[in-house]
Amino acid sequence: MKGKISIDRQLCKGCKYCVLACPKGVIVMDREFNSSGYFPAKVETLEMCNGCALCAQMCPEIAIVVWKEEEQTEAAHGS
Ligand code: SF4
Ligand code: SF4
């Protein structure tokens, strides 16, 4: 099972809680302002995400959505 996340950069207030919470180092801070004048969080290494949702739980702005996806392995079928 792999995780995926989406960060709403316009909702983000740049608190970095998600960066500190992520055990996989998936999230970094952007160097470009959002429309509110904050440096928002952004996804850096999505392939590392395990879908634990710690980032979303920490976010005070509810700017992060997390979901899990079955890995696409045809070989797993029919066994
Ligand atoms: S769901 Fe977990 S692994 Fe994925 S970005 Fe959030 S804290 Fe990191
Ligand atoms: S926890 Fe939420 S508000 Fe804070 S930096 Fe991460 S996405 Fe932005």
Summarize pLDDT for 19-76 with one digit per residue, the tens. 999 999 999 999 999 999 999 999 999 999 999 999 999 999 999 999 998 876 665 5
3-state secondary structure at position 48? helix
Q: Is the CB of 55 under 6 A from ligand 1?
A: yes
Q: Is the CB of 29 under 6 A from ligand 1?
A: no
CA dihedral 40, 45, 51, 56 (to 10 degrees): -10
| Domain chopping of the chain, boundaries | 2-69
DSSP run (H or E) holding 56: helix 54-58
pTM of the model: 0.89
CATH of 2-69, one of 3.40.228.10, 3.30.70.20, 3.30.360.10, 3.40.50.1000: 3.30.70.20
pLDDT in the model for residue 40: 98
9-23: average pLDDT: 98
Ligand 2 binding pocket mutation candidate from 26, 28, 59 (most atoms within 8 A of CB): 59
13: Cα separation from own chain's centroid? 15
Q: Is the CB of 51 under 6 A from ligand 1?
A: yes
Rounded to a whole number of angstroms, the distance between the first and last alpha carbons of the chain is: 18
